[in-house]
Amino acid sequence: MFVGTVLRNCYKIVRLLGSGGFGDTYLAENLDLPGHPLCVVKHLKPKDPNPVVLQVARRLFESEAQVLYRLGHENNQIPRLFAHFEEKGEFYLVQEYVEGNDLSSEVTVGKRWSEQEVTQLLREILEVLTVVHKHNIIHRDIKPQNLMRRREDSKIILIDFGAVKEISTLVNIQGQTSASVVIGSAGYMPSEQASGYPKPSSDVYAVGMLAIFALTGIQPHELPRDPTNGEVIWRNWANVSEKLADILTKMVRYRFSERYPSAAEALEALPAPPKPKPQPTPQLKSQPASQSTLQPTPILRRQVIQTLGLIGTGVGLG
């Protein structure tokens, strides 16, 4: 698609944001709104022109759009879906544009985060992921590039839910779909996901590997593994308490049955965030009482005596 192309007389393509095996993502302007705010357009073009494939793709596209719509309106840390439409056998999603930087600029090779920083990052990611898993959705591609730090409030935004990838599920000539398309990134993808059978705990694995990357400064795919059981070896490179180390170890177990089953359980295992210390209430210093309030002045005493004397005289005359 060329820069300057206008879709539906509304969305003007500004530039290409990314391209993959399943589709392209563009930055666009919404010409219908004042100021032409930016948005993201995801474009899918099925490679197989078979009508059966197109029919299944259309059904999956509609289903995925409904999921994205619900998620984006339930949680403001998931980009909202503005529109979805089909033109000439090609499918488009229009989503909210998140201004900020992804975590690949924060979680970098050689840089080690503190345990407190990593715990806070885990909490932020798992809170958003809990909403996703509640809808029985598996993200399948959690990594630093798909986690944005929103500029306006520094909150973590979970992007790229793989709508285009989901639609591209393998379809045979009878219109039957395979179990799943293998989606994920090296180091963040557990064994069951690599076999095409992802589960919510597969996302938990990816979040755990990201946290280990932040603690050690070593990319997940470069960490060694125990040849006897496939477990990741990482503790020697991290300065971390036993409690958090045990949580992360459970998150990245080789067998999915030994992990936390979903983000909610992993979030619950984290230590509670420290409560903010109450601010001391400022107290007003008591002012020393003035002499006039402690004892009557000599002038005031004389006035009282004179008044009493006049009263006594009057009584006597009466």
Query: At a CB cut-off of 8 Å and minimum separation 6, what does 263 contact?
Result: 126, 129, 130, 132, 133, 200, 203, 204, 207
Within 10 Å of residue 158's Cβ, how many Cβ atoms?
Answer: 23
Integer Cα distance of 93 and 67 in angstroms? 12
Out of 24, 32, 102, 141, the active site residue is: 141
> Taking the mean position of all CA atoms in its chain, how far away is CA 6?
31
Gyration radius from the chain CA atoms: 33
The residue with tokens 């400064």 is 217
141 is catalytic: yes
DSSP secondary structure, 244-301, as one string: HHHHHHHHT-SSGGGS-SSHHHHHHHSPPPPPPPPPPPP-PPPPPPPHHHHS--HHHH
The residue with tokens 């779909």 is 177
Integer Cα distance of 44 and 265 in angstroms? 35
The residue with tokens 């020393």 is 288
Core vs surface per residue 125-135: b (16+ CB within 10 A) or e: bbbbbbbbbee
Integer Cα distance of 6 and 139 in angstroms? 30
Measured N-to-C along each axis, helices 200-216 and 115-134 cross at an angle, to the nearest 10 degrees, of: 170
Closest residue by Cα to residue 43 from 100, 97, 86, 105: 86
DSSP secondary structure, 199-251, as one string: -HHHHHHHHHHHHHHHHHS--GGGS-B-TTT-PBP-GGG----HHHHHHHHHH
Q: Which residues are catalytic?
A: 141
